[in-house]
Structure 1
Amino acid sequence: MLAEVADTAQAGALYAWLSGLRSAGELPAVAEIVPAARTVLLDGAEDVPALTALLATWRPAAGAGPEGPLVEVPTVYDGADLAEVAELWGVSPEAAVRIHTEPRYRVAFCGFAPGFGYLTGLPERYEVPRRATPRTSVPAGSVALAGHWTGVYPRSSPGGWQLLGRTGLTLWDTARDPAALLAPGVRVRFTAVRPG
């Protein structure tokens, strides 16, 4: 079952509401609740009519629900696109780092690759376009921007986001429980560190 909403904030709010109902034992059985940019997937719904009736009672509210745990992301800001992003913002690269480390981000949803979180929190005026030509290989741990999203590549992969820097954190580890360091609702703070 796929619930469509107006925007990412509503998707986060619906996800938080459904997760709360599930924790309280008040949600009809579903295998998984998966938020996205403007949808929430309820996978493996056993009682679709009951779930449909419950969803009809939801009303969008301000905020994206309760705050999740805080993950600090130590970042070396030496990305290949830092100077270009700074130029787009009309500031120096040092000021661009301050702009990027100032907000408190929140994981809206995950996708693209296991462990990749789409982070909200960067003010709208700092949106940047994707690269005209994607790179064939972006290193694991790359901290990047595209549109109004911030993300960290959990593994090496092709990508078209603007690279600001890198972190040594492991975002996806199947030996860890949970495997993903970033999950919907988790709060994220980027901190600038020197190469070491």
Structure 2
Amino acid sequence: MSTTTTPRTARKTSAAKSAPPKPAASISLLGTTALLFEAPGELELASQKRIWALARETQAWPEFRESVPGMNNLMLTFVRPPRSTSALEELEARLHKAWDAAVELPIEGRLIELPVVYGGEGGPHMADVIAHTGLSAEEIVALHSAPTYPVYALGSHPGYCYLGGMDPRIATPRRKVPVLSIPGGAVSIGGAQTGVSASAGPSGWNTIGSTAMSFFDPTQDPPVLLQPGDMIRFRVERIVK
């Protein structure tokens, strides 16, 4: 009597590759007065919302005087510096654990519309952006004014806001030689980001326009117009050539 055998499914001869470990956040000392927590991965809104959540949580920790969100990072100033290496390591471990548990903080901010005059005296570097991108002034303005930009963080100088969401087609490297002074309200591009100067001062970004909106007034409470989670929309007032 002959017998037949049903062929078996071939076994896998190699073990499935394990998923690569997630990149870890980085923590470093800023002198003896503060820590800098840097989130892993690329800068994106989802990660920034977790930074906002971590800032809100750590603001209540007794070790810290202030928690200041930056672009994909968080600066935490000490009430008093940790007294030992072990105390610092314990604090860092708590921060890592808090980051791992952090979920996106859905801040429902305001939408601010900014009228912008593009080019002309208020946009002296429009020609440089044109030369780098190969686009016309009209195309650059259309791409720049299309998104609604979330305010990721405040910094650089009082009232200045770092924005996310600029179209990569108009990304332009920062200037090799910074400008000694640009006026408040200058609308500029620096790398893959855009922003609006809150006051006069030096800048290495490419200024393509200007707005008359005031972003910082020390007589007001709060003195800054915008907060993380607010949104900006640029409205084209006109294009000057």
Shorter-chain TM range is: 0.7 to 0.9
SS in 2 for 1:15: helix
Q: Which residue of 2 aligns with 1:72?
A: 113
- The 1:63–1:191 alpha-carbon spacing in structure 2 relative to 1, beyond 3 Å, is farther
Of 107-116 and 10-19, more deviation after overlay is shown by 10-19
- May I ask how many residue pairs the two structures share in their alignment? 192
RMSD: 2.8
**In 2, distance between residues paired with 1:93 and 1:61?**
42
Larger radius of gyration: 2
**In 2, distance between residues paired with 1:22 and 1:53?**
10
**In 2, distance between residues paired with 1:22 and 1:56?**
12
Contact 2:115 2:234 in 1 (8 A): yes
Deviation at 1:134, TM superposition (A): 1.5
SS in 1 for 2:48: helix
* Aligned residue among 86, 89, 99 for 2:133: 89
* Aligned residue among 97, 103, 114 for 1:56: 97
Q: Which residue of 2 aligns with 1:121?
A: 165
* Aligned residue among 36, 42, 45 for 2:76: 42
Contact 1:28 1:51 in 2 (8 A): no
Question: Which ranges of structure 2 fall in alignment gaps of 5 or more residues?
Answer: 1-34, 83-87
Contact 1:35 1:41 in 2 (8 A): yes
Q: Which whole-Å deviations, capped at 9, do the CAs of 1:74-103 have from their partners, x for residues lacking one?
A: 111121112321332222101111110001
Q: Which residue of 2 aligns with 1:191?
A: 235
**In 2, distance between residues paired with 1:101 and 1:87?**
19
Contact 2:54 2:98 in 1 (8 A): no
SS in 2 for 1:8: coil
Tell me the percent identity: 32
SS in 1 for 2:99: coil
TM-score (norm 2): 0.69
Deviation at 1:31, TM superposition (A): 3.1
Deviation at 1:136, TM superposition (A): 1.5
Q: Which whole-Å deviations, capped at 9, do the CAs of 1:33-77 have from their partners, x for residues lacking one?
A: 211223212234589857853650433878674342211111111
Q: Which residue of 1 aligns with 2:39?
A: 5
Amino acid at match of 2:163: L
Amino acid at match of 2:52: A
Deviation at 1:19, TM superposition (A): 4.9
- The 1:194–1:182 alpha-carbon spacing in structure 2 relative to 1, beyond 3 Å, is same
**In 2, distance between residues paired with 1:60 and 1:54?**
10
Question: Which ranges of structure 1 fall in alignment gaps of 5 or more residues?
Answer: none
Establish whether residue 98 from structure 1 lines up as the match of residue 98 from structure 2.
no
For CA contacts below 8 A with separation 6 or more, give which structure has more relative contact order.
1
